[in-house]
Amino acid sequence: MATILSVSASPSATSRTARLLRHLDARLTAQGHEVIALDVRTLPAEALLGADFGHPAIVRAGALFEQADGVVIGTPVYKAAYSGLLKSLLDLLPQYALTGKTVLPLATGGTTAHVLAIDYALRPVLASMGPAHITPGWFTLDKDITVADDGTLTVAPGSAEALAQVADQFSAALGGRTTLLAATG
């Protein structure tokens, strides 16, 4: 079993990205992992925008990264890249905050024109933070995510299967890594 930090990075109060992550969290939990959710929009804006590295909420967020074996990063595509909210948090973490960790990058967006934003924008930033492994990510179109009045989330066929597949690849990579760590002490 691994500890996973699941980070949603939309500033929206009704974020589809956050809903999608919570949906995947349930899948990862069912596979035996401990999943901790971090919604970046709940962190204090003054700390994020004022580079307050020592703010208790930022220190706590940093500790969650440190404790995690795996990190899911989910962001909406904004202006052809990841959200500024995500960058404002990553900039407050240590340079190598992802050292040794397995990372699953996910994005939601409004147009397939930016389907590669994970690879040309998000992945290089994550790679600079020292992860052991960035597993294949997935971009989901916003129109393919629907939330019913009772809160039930539905993902369009095709995208749903692809998401399940990248989540399972991430889970398998984590399983291999925790087994290796246990074996090598």
Ligand X SMILES: Cc1cc2nc3c(=O)[nH]c(=O)nc-3n(C[C@H](O)[C@H](O)[C@H](O)COP(=O)(O)O)c2cc1C
List residues near ligand X by CB under 6 A: 10, 12, 15-18, 76-80, 108-111, 114, 142
The Cα–Cα gap between 129 and 96 comes to: 4
Query: What does the chain come to in residues?
Result: 185
Q: Could you tell me how far CA 26 lies from the centroid of its own chain?
A: 14
The Cα–Cα gap between 118 and 128 comes to: 14
Element (H, E) at 23: helix 16-30
Do the beta carbons of residue 114 and residue 146 sit within 8 Å?
Answer: no
Token pair belonging to 34 = 């401990």
Least distance in angstroms from the C-beta of 78 to ligand X = 4
Question: 24: helix, coil or strand?
Answer: helix
Residue whose CB is less far from ligand X, 108 or 135: 108
Least distance in angstroms from the C-beta of 102 to ligand X = 23
Least distance in angstroms from the C-beta of 164 to ligand X = 19
Residue whose CB is less far from ligand X, 61 or 118: 118
Residue whose CB is less far from ligand X, 23 or 101: 23
Residue whose CB is less far from ligand X, 97 or 118: 118
Least distance in angstroms from the C-beta of 145 to ligand X = 7
